[in-house]
Structure 1
Amino acid sequence: MADPMDVQVVSAERVVWSGQASNIIARTTDGDIGILPGHEPVLAILVPSGVEIYSVDNHREIVAVDGGFISVGQGRVSILSEYARMADDIDLPRAEKELAEAQSRLDDGEDDEDTRKHFSRAQAQVRAAQKVQ
């Protein structure tokens, strides 16, 4: 078995998760990507979603990201997103309410940066929290 990957999930505010992993599944603009040890170098754009990280003890961690990038190379994986939050810390009903409110604002023509950001973050939280259930 190949050596585990060193992984860091970093938001604009802090390191959200750091450790060693045997598998990562992330959603990019081109679709889902699976990363295993020894993966070829890649840089991809993430979409709002829940990134799945399988630690070396096979524990699954899910992190909500509102976009950003995933970088893979030389046994290291960096997930960089303006917003990132552990799915276990998300209140699904509250996130669903926030998503509905943001969608309503977009439907009413409030297509500004703050509304799009609110929508992306709420969408990421809902997707990540649903994966935990």
Structure 2
Amino acid sequence: MAGTFTFHVVSPEGNVLKEEIEFVILPGVNGELGILPNHAPLIAALDTGVIRYTIEGKKKNLAISGGFVEVSENKATVLADTAESGELIDLQRAQAAKERAEKRLAQRSPDIDIKRAEFALHRAIARINAADRKND
């Protein structure tokens, strides 16, 4: 398992991360994907969730809200709809967003966009999980 590979995360806002890492776990739409150095080529869709990776023995997290990953030639590139470092997440703000989404879903009134509220809830949960895990 020795070695590293290039891990690059890009969102519409620009480059989020580009580092040499040892290991990454990604939230695939059909379950988690683990990537190690010299992984076979792969393209997969990603779900809203937490990317967990190891750099110089330290565990780090990113919250994403969907996208794609391409693995090729000892490089993994994530094209994410949104991506935010666990270290930069405002936990109180994420918890407030979760509570707002839960309240909207509980109301179930005709003027509430249910899909949008569900997406907001999943994104808030991912952000909370990424922030909570930053000291793993």
Following superposition, the deviation at residue 101 of structure 1 comes to: 0.6
Q: Secondary structure at the match of 2:37?
A: coil
Structure-to-structure mapping, 1:47-66, within 5 angstroms: 47-55=47-55, 57-66=56-65
Structure 2 equivalent of residue 16 of structure 1: 16
Gaps of 5+ in 2: none
Following superposition, the deviation at residue 116 of structure 1 comes to: 4.6
Q: Secondary structure at the match of 1:124?
A: helix
Give me the identity figure in percent. Answer: 29
Q: Secondary structure at the match of 1:47?
A: strand
* Distance change in 2, residues 1:45/1:103 (3 Å): farther
Structure 2 equivalent of residue 103 of structure 1: 102
Structure 2 equivalent of residue 32 of structure 1: 32
Following superposition, the deviation at residue 120 of structure 1 comes to: 3.7
Q: CA RMSD in A?
A: 1.9
With the length of structure 2 as denominator, give the TM-score of the two structures.
0.85
Structure with bigger strand share is 2
| Number of positions where the alignment pairs a residue of Structure 1 with one of Structure 2 | 132
Select 1:126's aligned residue among 125, 128, 133: 128
On the 8 A contact 2:59/2:134 being kept in 1, the answer is no
Give the distance between the partners of 2:123 and 2:54, measured in 1 at CA: 23
Structure 2 equivalent of residue 6 of structure 1: 6
Q: Secondary structure at the match of 1:15?
A: strand
Matched to 2:85, the amino acid is M
Structure 2 equivalent of residue 67 of structure 1: 66
Structure 2 equivalent of residue 89 of structure 1: 88
1:45 aligns with 2:40: no
Following superposition, the deviation at residue 16 of structure 1 comes to: 0.9
With the length of structure 1 as denominator, give the TM-score of the two structures.
0.86
Gaps of 5+ in 1: none
Give the distance between the partners of 1:105 and 1:16, measured in 2 at CA: 31
On the 8 A contact 1:69/1:81 being kept in 2, the answer is yes
